[in-house]
Amino acid sequence: MPDAPTMPLPVRLLLDAEDAFLATAEAIPAPGREGHIGPLSAPGGVMAHVAGTQDLWISGPIAEQPNLVRRTQPDDTAYREGIDTFREAIKRMREYTTVLDGGSLRELALLDGSPYANQGLTKGYLVRRSVAHIYVHAADLTVAGSLVGMPDLSLPGPLARCQHIDAADTSSTSLVPMLLDGLDEVRRVADALPVPAQVGAFARLNAGSFIVAHVANREDLLWNLGMRGMRDPWLEAANVGPGAPRSVPNWDDARESLDRTIEAVTPYLESLTPADLAGTLTYRGNQHPIGAQLARSAAHVFYHAGELQALGSLAGMPSLSLPGPLARSAKG
């Protein structure tokens, strides 16, 4: 396996995502491991689904190898079976993903005979889609665990492999459209969220308004304050950052803050180059590589989109099939 700093940034983010998902699964308390809580899928079923989906997207389309795992929808698969299936799947997937370089990420994925054939989708797109999918379902595990007393795990996790940013890594800027796709998904789920999920009707879980404002706050702090010296006044006063106590901000104010933030940060994000990502920014009083924070944001928004979807399901919302089409990411 190549040293992590030499791998393309999206590949390193995928490896970190797999580790974060597994750590979340291992942290679920015993009372929440078997069966399902209301409409939430059983953790074992979620793990088996993620394993099968990663295998479907990587083995054939990227590595030209037969599939190892049968893809299923989340069901009541036993916890031990699910986690063993996931461990075995990522062990094999890493044989394929850790040898990818920037050039191979730009190659067309082998999708003949699938619904995605002839769409010009690249191997890099499938790597980024895999990251998004993992974090959406890590949120399923987190919500299920939280309902039985699991403490907050601060996902997307440490992302240790993503801290070194190489100015020559041209794949790094592909995380910009991924982040913008993720913000669109947060917005899409928010607009479908039933009122009980918006206002914190479920004990031990965040209110939807808190999650939406929390997502907007991070992007505002990074790209508006950190890079341009600007700050959204409502978000500054909202106290929705990391570690903030649970609260229930006004839904309309939170939702509008997300729109304002997306509109404000998009032109800046779309201007970033690989050399820019190797530079630093100030976030919460410390200097960080810009590319490392971009990777964290891309993972963060899909995790919280998944959290919103899980909240919505508890309030009767049908699945929105996250992570969605990722239309920006599909272009390259």
pLDDT tens track for 209-224: 999 999 999 999 999 9
Instruction: Give the pLDDT confidence of 63-116 residue by residue, as tens digits.
Output: 999 887 666 676 789 999 999 999 999 999 999 999 999 999 999 999 887 777
Two tokens at 86?
A: 């996931």
Between 4 and 260, name the one with better pLDDT: 260
CA distance 146 to 29: 9
Please state, in angstroms and as integers, the Cα–Cα distance from residue 330 to each residue in 132, 162, 179, 186, 286, following that order.
Answer: 13, 22, 13, 18, 34
Residue 214: helix, strand or coil by DSSP? helix
My answer on whether omega of the bond before 323 falls inside 30° of 0, hence cis, is yes
* Partner residues linked to 289 by β-bridges: 280
The pLDDT value recorded for residue 5 is: 78
The pLDDT value recorded for residue 67 is: 84
Asked if 74 contacts 140 with a C-beta cutoff of 8 angstroms, the reply is yes
Which ranges in 161-284 belong to alpha helices (H)? 175-192, 195-198, 208-219, 226-228, 233-238, 251-270, 274-277
**Which residues, including other chains, have CB under 8 Å from residue 137's CB and lie 6 or more apart?**
21, 46, 49, 50, 74, 306
CA distance 221 to 238: 13
Mean pLDDT (the chain, rounded): 94
Does the structure show a pLDDT above 60 at 2?
Answer: no
The pLDDT value recorded for residue 313 is: 97
CB atoms within 10 A of CB 68: 18
Asked if 159 contacts 13 with a C-beta cutoff of 8 angstroms, the reply is yes
Domains of the chain, first to last: 1-154 (1.20.120.450), 168-332 (1.20.120.450)
Give the pLDDT band (50/70/90) at residue 117. confident
The pLDDT value recorded for residue 114 is: 78
